[in-house]
Amino acid sequence: MSDTLTITDNRTGKTYEVPITHDTIKALDLRKIKVKDDDFGLMTYDPGFMNTASTKSTITYIDGDLGILEYRGYPIADLAEKSNFLEVAYLIMYGSLPTKDQYDKWAHEITHHTFLHENIKQIMHAFRYDAHPMGMFISIVAALSTFYPEASQIDDPASRHKQIIRLIAKVPTIAAFSYRHSRGLPYVYPDNDLSYTGNFLSMLDKMTQDKYTPKPALERALDVLFILHADHEQNCGTAAMRVIGSSQPDPYSAVAGAAGALYGPLHGGANEQVLRMLMEIGSLSNVPDFIKRVKNRETLLYGFGHRVYKNYDPRARIIKQTADEVFEVTGRNPLLDIALELERIALEDDFFVSRKLYPNVDFYSGIIYQAMGFPVAMFPVLFAIPRTVGWLSQWVELLADPDQKIARPRQIYLGGRGLDYVPMDQR
């Protein structure tokens, strides 16, 4: 037995042997398969990267069939139960759990980089009163590159570290400012005495009180949600981060692009769509009719289905528990009953069962965020804050990987060739 693949090209009768490593063949090894010497060589056609590994990685492990998610080898449920977001952020960035000293230094650095340049407020003011907070978030993250021009020195480890700290520290401040702008409220500056999520809640909610004290259950719930969203290997947003990063711009520009990819309703915008869908359904009695519409392909059941998970998303299970803890403080969100009924019917219905469509992370996260008082438009922003850690970790891995090159897929050109230009008055 050998770790190779033997391919016979029936166009020519020639046989080729291609090495197999990690159950993968190199796409470039197919290029030697040609009919004529001057042919380009065989390519693979894979829209949406359904079966293409774009990188080797040691950050996040997913087994979609078994519903397993691990960061750096640690099961997500253990991290959600025993760790906190900043510790998980360190784990994802550096590959191992921090010692006490490492954790203290990391937490101190992030806590002391949360402020934004005052000019950012002027950029915020330029947005319309009803600007979508995700549009503001993406713009401000991109704008940060102009405040830190040294960020373009991506080969300098010290500069890279500085930008990583700045980004992780400042994204909650940007998110909170976007929220306060949309409410017409004054911006609240960061409070270094509070935790990462406690400070975020303070920047969102603080009014006239001298000192804001976050409700521990909500602070912890947000921390758990941030842990669950911190990384998810090569999803659409992360792939965008790597594609942009491969042309070697500063990390602010790359994170802004990744956040743009996250914004879409098929990805991080799905939790917003879930809430809109639940509000549209409105009552338990309308659930069967809605399921019928999904099966007639008139609409999607948002929050269901996943490219990788063909089983219950492990994050959805943890979020369901977190929901109960939040509702004890906030009162039960009436949309939860509609969601539970949708889940119950869908998990019994052959349309969903045969397609292995299960609730994903977004199915319940929106219900919690709404109960906590977040407007629906803030949901993708709440996803982007913790995912910034995953993006940066994947970016660092990309920069250190000698296999990586500028991302530049091929195409199968099917259009016309060498046409004669026809002047406009003769067309």
Stretch that binds ligand ACO, among 39-47, 130-138, 216-224, 262-270 (CB under 6 A): 262-270
Map residues 397-426 to x or -, x wherever contact with ligand ACO holds by CB under 6 A: ------------------------------
Give the span between the Cα atoms of 40 and 145, in whole angstroms. Answer: 40
Q: For residue 306, indicate whether it is catalytic.
A: yes
The angle at the Cα of 166, spanning 77 to 162, to the nearest 5 degrees, equals 105
Report residue 157: phi and psi, to 5°. Answer: -60, -35
Stretch that binds ligand ACO, among 32-40, 145-153, 355-363, 400-408 (CB under 6 A): 355-363
Among 42, 43, 123, 300, binds ligand ACO (CB under 6 A): 300
Q: How far is the CB of 373 from ligand ACO (least distance, A)?
A: 22
For 69, the 3-state DSSP assignment is: strand
Q: How far is the CB of 297 from ligand ACO (least distance, A)?
A: 7
Give the span between the Cα atoms of 360 and 383, in whole angstroms. Answer: 14
Asked if residue 266 binds ligand ACO (CB under 6 A), the reply is: yes
* CB nearer ligand ACO, residue 266 or residue 284: 266
Asked if residue 361 binds ligand ACO (CB under 6 A), the reply is: yes
Can you tell me which residue has the tokens 């500069």? 159
Q: For residue 161, indicate whether it is catalytic.
A: no
Asked if residue 317 binds ligand ACO (CB under 6 A), the reply is: no
Q: To 10 degrees, what angle do helices 362-371 and 270-281 make?
A: 70
Q: How far is the CB of 387 from ligand ACO (least distance, A)?
A: 9
Can you tell me which residue has the tokens 């400070």? 199
Map residues 362-381 to x or -, x wherever contact with ligand ACO holds by CB under 6 A: x-------------------
Stretch that binds ligand ACO, among 142-150, 180-188, 359-367, 398-406 (CB under 6 A): 359-367
Closest CA to 21 of 423, 403, 332: 403
- Whether 17 and 23 have beta carbons less than 8 Å apart is answered as no
Q: For residue 112, indicate whether it is catalytic.
A: no
Q: Which residues contact 425 (CB under 8 A, 6 or more apart)?
A: none
For 18, the 3-state DSSP assignment is: strand
Asked if residue 258 binds ligand ACO (CB under 6 A), the reply is: no
Q: 3-state DSSP: the chain helix, strand, coil percent, rounded to 5?
A: 55, 5, 40
Stretch that binds ligand ACO, among 22-30, 96-104, 189-197, 293-301 (CB under 6 A): 293-301
Catalytic, out of 191, 229, 306, 313: 306
* CB nearer ligand ACO, residue 110 or residue 339: 339
Asked if residue 310 binds ligand ACO (CB under 6 A), the reply is: no
Stretch that binds ligand ACO, among 55-63, 93-101, 144-152, 296-304 (CB under 6 A): 296-304
Number of other CB atoms surrounding residue 160 within 10 Å = 19
Give the span between the Cα atoms of 166 and 150, in whole angstroms. Answer: 13
DSSP 284: G
Closest CA to 201 of 252, 193, 134: 193
Q: Beta strands 14-19 and 60-63: pairing type? A: unpaired
Among 267, 276, 317, 332, binds ligand ACO (CB under 6 A): 267
Q: How far is the CB of 165 from ligand ACO (least distance, A)?
A: 26
- CB nearest ligand ACO: which residue? 305
Give me the DSSP letters along 198-213. Answer: HHHHHHHH--S-SS--
Q: Which residues are catalytic?
A: 267, 306, 362
Q: Which chain residues interact with ligand ACO by CB under 6 A?
A: 266-268, 270, 294, 300-307, 355, 357, 360-362
